[in-house]
Amino acid sequence: MKSRAEEFAEWGTEVVFGRARGFRAWMMRCLLRFASFFFWILVQVRLFLFRRRLKTVHYLGTFVVSVGNITAGGTGKTPVVELLSRSLASRGRKCAILTRGYKSHDLEKPQVWLDKEGKRVKSIPKIASDGVTRYLSPLYAGDEPFMLARNLDGVAVLVDKDRVKSGIFAIEQLGSNTLILDDGMQFLKLKHEIDIVLVDCGFPFGTGALLPRGTMREPRASLKRASYIILTKSEGKPQDALISTIRKYNKVADIIVTNHAPVLLENIFTGEQLPLSALKGKYVACLSGIARPESFENLVESLGANVEIRRSYPDHYWFDQEDLDAFVERCAERAMDMIVTTEKDAVRFLRPGEMEVPIYFLRIHIDILQGQDKWDAMIDRICGLGAPQPAPEWGDVL
């Protein structure tokens, strides 16, 4: 049973995306449009303050790479962060991912970290992984940080809203020489040597309006801050029109075209792996809590599955036992062959009381379709530097 807050959140999403009809929805859109104007003012004032150095910007003396976007969610950022981290680690860079850990819970008992002299370090971020040991569950790390910590060896994952604090800890305590800001485009307190901005080919500028009326965090003009622009979820289709639009705002950034390619199916609870061909002709239920569930559902359908049941929750939703038991029971009644979810959602699953229908997640990786040479040059640029070049002045790019 959904709470009233959940029902209102779902209705609000329908309003923002223009799917809700009626006078009530129209009035809400008018109010949100008015609020978006004030949000635009706040964005411009904030950028002005950083541009004029009226707000403090920290430079930590090591290489900082930001991966972010100008829209709220749904661009496929986590697999890109994973590929970037793995590429750098394989070349000998000691990386730390600095992430906010959206919707992660506070620790019941503070973590303890001892420095080289055996003294306790005060005021530390949450340590999801130090690159060797994974310390936190998804509940306390957050779904995406946990997934990164699980999938990446030799890469630290630190969780804190204050990425400056996390960065200092990574450098001083873990010896990191490369900091990767997960969802870092709007985190301007820390200077970025490289800004990687992701644009979803299927939904490049969200609804076209700023928050809260739309899904854009910043206007399109903010693309000028990008050093590299990665087009995600291209599905192999030509992107000339989108690239032409992007060039109106940024004429110099290297543009790399990618696709989120499915690799295999993995059972959440047993670890059993199946080839993608196992979906062909099967009756499938899709369950997810991500920003754009239709993109995931369409992908499952494209692999030959008959998607008979679709159930989506808000992004980063924590499934409870009642949710899962009811959904599995419904799928069993409809004789579904399997339930399929995303890898990010899989870390938030509890084991249902009755496992009448097997539950798999779809493992995804990034395929670079155009611009492999530009990606390689970016990795070379980072790995080839004994010390980072000075970060660009915010006044030049904001």
Domain residue spans of the chain: 4-51, 63-259+367-393, 263-364
pLDDT averaged over every residue in the chain? 93
pLDDT 10s digits, 225-251: 999 999 999 999 999 999 999 999 999
What pLDDT is recorded for position 394? 53
What pLDDT is recorded for position 386? 47
What pLDDT is recorded for position 74? 81
The yes-or-no answer to whether 63-259+367-393 and 263-364 have a common fold is yes
Q: Is the pLDDT of residue 390 over 80?
A: no
Q: What is the CATH number of domain 263-364?
A: 3.40.50
Between 179-188, 222-231, 358-367, 387-396, the lowest mean confidence (pLDDT) is in: 387-396
Q: How far apart are the first and last CA of the chain?
A: 46
Q: Which CATH superfamily is domain 63-259+367-393 in?
A: P-loop containing nucleotide triphosphate hydrolases (3.40.50.300)
Q: Is the pLDDT of residue 260 over 90?
A: yes
| Alpha-carbon span 22 to 375, nearest angstrom | 47
pLDDT 10s digits, 100-133: 998 899 999 999 999 999 999 999 999 999 999 9
- Helix runs in 52-190, H state only: 77-90, 138-141, 143-151, 163-174
More confident residue, 352 or 284: 284
pLDDT 10s digits, 359-388: 999 999 999 999 999 999 999 999 985 445
Per-residue tokens: 304: 């030959």
Contact 100, 183 (CB under 8 A): yes
